[in-house]
């Protein structure tokens, strides 16, 4: 009995980079959303009951990953605010007007500003849509790949079934035809004997 083997078609391969990019873009979008939400929440709490205090610049941003630092006292306790947007030309020891929330001395901003860290809010507004768009592109590519793999696997199963059926028919055909011929011979021979 002959067995026909049909090599299955190669399924398209998808690199791991697509999955990694989808995960990273989702993490970035969630992180930036949390950053923006935290800034908005602190701005709301400060705006509800602002308490003005005087701060002193203790550190200036150098551009090498270090942020500014402003120390202040609230309810008799020392506090430090980092990454506040200082004015150009600010120096160590300069006094700065700050306002913090009455129920949270850690929620502080420079007087006249809306958010404690406006740069973070702007970054969140820009990066969240970009990250979500990139995540959607990655997910569409992954879903298309999975559909292609499913279609190819279905086609390979169908081709294998057809090949097996086609290989089995020639082996069984002689027995079927020989049976029909032997019956015809018997019938014809019997008729000739009678005449």
Rounded Cα–Cα distance for residues 181 and 38 (Å): 90
- The whole-number pLDDT of residue 62 equals 79
Contact (Cβ atoms closer than 8 angstroms) between residue 163 and residue 4: yes
How many other C-beta atoms are found inside a 10 Å radius of the C-beta of residue 42?
A: 20
Computed over every residue of the chain, the mean pLDDT equals: 80
When pLDDT is cut at 50, 70 and 90, the band that residue 33 belongs to is: very high
Lowest mean pLDDT among 18-22, 49-53, 188-192: 188-192
Residue from 67, 66, 44, 69 nearest 58 by CA: 69
Q: What are phi and psi of 77, to 5 degrees?
A: -110, 140
160 versus 77: the higher-pLDDT residue is: 77
């Amino acid at each position: 009995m002959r067995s026909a083997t049909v090599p299955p078609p190669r399924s398209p391969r998808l690199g791991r980079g697509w999955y990694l990019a989808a995960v990273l873009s989702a993490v970035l979008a969630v992180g930036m959303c949390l950053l923006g939400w935290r800034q908005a929440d602190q701005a709301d709490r400060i705006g509800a009951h602002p308490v003005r205090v005087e701060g002193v610049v203790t550190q200036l941003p150098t551009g090498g990953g270090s942020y500014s630092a402003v120390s202040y006292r609230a309810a008799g306790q020392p506090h430090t605010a980092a990454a506040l947007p200082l004015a150009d030309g600010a120096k160590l020891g300069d006094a700065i007007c700050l306002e913090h929330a009455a129920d949270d001395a850690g929620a502080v901003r420079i007087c006249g500003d809306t958010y404690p860290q406006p740069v973070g809010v702007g970054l969140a507004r820009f990066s969240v849509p970009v990250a979500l768009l990139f995540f959607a592109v990655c997910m569409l590519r992954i879903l298309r790949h999975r559909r292609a793999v499913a279609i190819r696997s279905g086609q390979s199963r169908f081709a294998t079934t057809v090949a097996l059926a086609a290989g089995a028919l020639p082996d069984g055909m002689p027995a079927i035809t020989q049976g029909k011929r032997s019956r015809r011979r018997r019938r014809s021979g019997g008729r000739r004997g009678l005449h």
